[in-house]
Amino acid sequence: MRFLYITDTHFRGNSPQNRMDDFPQTLRKKMEEVVQVAQDLQVEAVLHGGDLFEIPNPAVNVVGDVVRFLKALGKPFYIVPGNHDLFGQNPQTLNRTMLGLLGQVGLLKILEPGEKVFFKKDGISLQLTGQGYHFDLDTERGREGYLVKNKEADLAIHIVHGMLLDRPFFQTVAYTLIDDIKETEADLTLTGHAHLGFNEIVVNNKKFINPGALVRTTVLPAEVNRWPQMVLIEAGKDGITTKFLPLKTALPGEQVLNIEKATEMKLREERLARIISEVRSSGDFRSLKLENILREIAQKEQLPEEVREEALKRIAQAEIEMAREEVDDVP
Ligand SMILES: [Mn+2]
């Protein structure tokens, strides 16, 4: 039984600042390749690790690109929502997003937390589960989102849109280490969110893999040198094996990313780092992200949970309102 896994496609209607190509056109070609490979290899389904779209309410033509891809694919497509797919990075806004809409009309299947989808073939049963992004996913209270318990099939695959890393990262970003979730019963854990990805890691006979984003949007050297890829998953009597399939339609990083801008970016990043360190020394905050600041204030002031939840809800609501105003601004 085979599956194809891709993640972080970030569909959008224009080219990111650092790209020199026609980004939407490049992505269309990549998705044609995904369709071709999925059909040639006769996979049961295509799996997506989240951040299907760059923003929760993309324009109609951008949604059209995704619908055309799904129709051409003609196979089940399972996904977990990424932070970019949601308003205010809040899962409760899903039914107001374009990803939510595609799920509601049945063009794709959004994996709900705790929901199990079963596949059976050649005497093997496999369960598929997923966990979309939420604020606490990469904190201790969110850890269970990474963990599969009570496996009800021979094999289990779990998809998570979270910052799963094999080694510690700098402190401004919340992350989870593979070591923290090695008790999972999933034979294979697939992640996205961290665009650089990592090779397959095996701990306790369990596999963890992140192929990296299907698109490159920053000019970090590691990103310029990275080749977009999919993961071919084979599940059989001997367990699960994975294999990276580099995209044939992708071009070398130097041809699509504006590297000259990299130097300029580096200077800007250094300036930003200085500002952040100044803010930190005065306010004692580890991050400039609104949601993270909120979490730290809540912790420091020991605010009741309802207050924090309400604040998160209002941030999401404000983003929805802002998005509406942007649309109304268009003549
Ligand atoms: Mn992403």
The predicted-structure confidence for 213-226, as pLDDT tens digits, reads as follows 999 998 888 899 99
**Domain stop point among 233, 254, 275:** 254
Residues 275 and 130 in one domain: no
The predicted pLDDT at position 47 comes to 98
Q: Is the pLDDT of residue 264 over 80?
A: no
Do 157 and 295 sit in the same domain of this protein?
no
224 and 269 within one domain:
no
pLDDT of residue 164: 96
Whether residue 185 sits in one domain with residue 42 = yes
Given a contact cutoff of 8 angstroms between Cβ atoms, the answer to whether 14 and 57 are in contact is: no
Question: How much distance in Å is there from the Cα of 217 to the middle of ligand 1?
Answer: 10
CA of 52 to the centre of ligand 1 (A): 8
Ligand 1 centre distance from Cα of residue 160 (Å): 12
One-letter identity of residue 108: L
Do 188 and 79 belong to one domain? yes
| CA–centroid distance, residue 152 to ligand 1 (Å) | 31
Is the confidence at residue 242, as pLDDT, over 90? yes
User: Are residues 90 and 38 part of one domain?
Assistant: yes
Domain span at residue 315 reads 260-329
The model carries a pTM of 0.85
Of 254, 281, 312, the residue that ends a domain is 254
Confidence of residue 201 (pLDDT cuts 50, 70, 90): very high
276 shares a domain with 244: no
For ligand 1, the distance from its centroid to the CA atom of residue 191, given in whole angstroms, is 11
Residue 121 and residue 25 in one domain: yes
* Stated length of the chain: 331
**DSSP code for 161:** -
- Using the 3D structure, point to which of 254, 269, 296 is the last residue of a domain: 254
Element containing residue 131 per DSSP (H, E)? strand 124-131
Q: How many domains does the chain have?
A: 2
Chain CA centroid to CA 277, Å: 28
**Distance of CA 150 from the midpoint of ligand 1 (Å):** 29
How many angstroms does the Cα of residue 90 sit away from the middle of ligand 1?
A: 15
Task: Verify that 38 and 154 share a domain, yes or no.
Answer: yes
Q: Please list the alpha-helical segments (H only) found in the chain.
A: 23-40, 60-73, 98-104, 221-224, 253-256, 260-283, 290-301, 305-329
The per-residue pLDDT for 143 is: 96
Q: What is the pLDDT of residue 327?
A: 54
50 C-alpha vs ligand 1 centroid, how far in Å? 7
What stretch of H or E contains 130?
strand 124-131
Ion ligand 1, residues whose Cβ is below 5 A away:
8, 51
Q: Which tokens hold the place of 82?
A: 């990424």
CA separation for the pair 224, 222 (Å, rounded): 6
Amino acid at 64: G
CA of 278 to the centre of ligand 1 (A): 28
Task: CATH number of the domain at 164, please.
Answer: 3.60.21.10
Same domain for 229 and 200: yes
78: CA distance to ligand 1 center in Å? 17
User: 82 CA to middle of ligand 1, Å?
Assistant: 7
